[in-house]
Amino acid sequence: EDKVVQSPLSLVVHEGDTVTLNCSYEVTNFRSLLWYKQEKKAPTFLFMLTSSGIEKKSGRLSSILDKKELFSILNITATQTGDSAIYLCAVNSGGSNYKLTFGKGTLLTVNP
Amino acid sequence: DAGVTQSPTHLIKTRGQQVTLRCSPKSGHDTVSWYQQALGQGPQFIFQYYEEEERQRGNFPDRFSGHQFPNYSSELNVNALLLGDSALYLCASSLRRLADPSYEQYFGPGTRLTVT
């Protein structure tokens, strides 16, 4: 059975801190790894990673994938209170079909 | 450009009842996937519809069924509701590209189902 494990499950930091969120996976047919931010309801897309070692960046957020060690990290620098959310890691392992297997998420709280 | 829309926003049902949730995909998308997100958990894949057929299914009982219409919109039906079916139900749409090794899903705002 496909499995995605995120750590830590929750994290409390102060504004300006840098955080690293972890995601490890075991899937039978890896296609890509995705990061989402979920504030209230709909998860919003952050990154899609398919190749090892290539960092994706968007402002203060960045992510990288290691397909040999089967993990990914999401970094957030200079955190702001607006970064408070649940961060979800998901792996697309659908093969000829398609499905996302999600981790439980990391609840990030950024205090002023 | 309209994103993924879902209805209703929330509803309350009683154990044993049946419920139908609806989803309209993002414009131009042809594939709809449904997920169940229980409180404190990540979303769990229920099933996916493409070309009006169920293409893949997660570990959910037959009480969960779906349908896709020619305009790509989709319904999720749950029969004989249990208390444990209380969750946020998310619909995600995408454009199927068989030659593309990976593609993105866009999520709707979800339907919050409470079973009492």
Contact across the interface for A45 and B102, Cβ inside 8 Å: no
Tell me the percentage of chain A whose pLDDT exceeds 90. Answer: 74
> What's the confidence (pLDDT) of residue A93?
80
How wide is the angle at C-alpha A1 spanned by C-alphas B92 and A22, nearest 5°? 70
Question: Searching chain A, which residue's CA lies closest to the CA of residue B40?
Answer: A104
Per-residue model confidence as pLDDT tens digits over A25-37: 998 888 889 999 9
Per-residue model confidence as pLDDT tens digits over A96-110: 556 789 999 999 999
Nearest to B110 among A6, A42, A105 (CB): A42
Coil, helix or strand at residue B52 = coil
Instruction: Report how far residue B37's alpha carbon sits from residue A101's, in angstroms, rounded to the nearest whole number.
Output: 12
Q: How confident is the model at residue B98 (pLDDT cuts 50, 70, 90)?
A: low
Compute the count of residue pairs across chains A and B with CB atoms less than 8 Å apart.
71
> What's the confidence (pLDDT) of residue A40?
81
Chain A CB contacts of B43 under 8 Å are 43, 88, 90, 100, 102
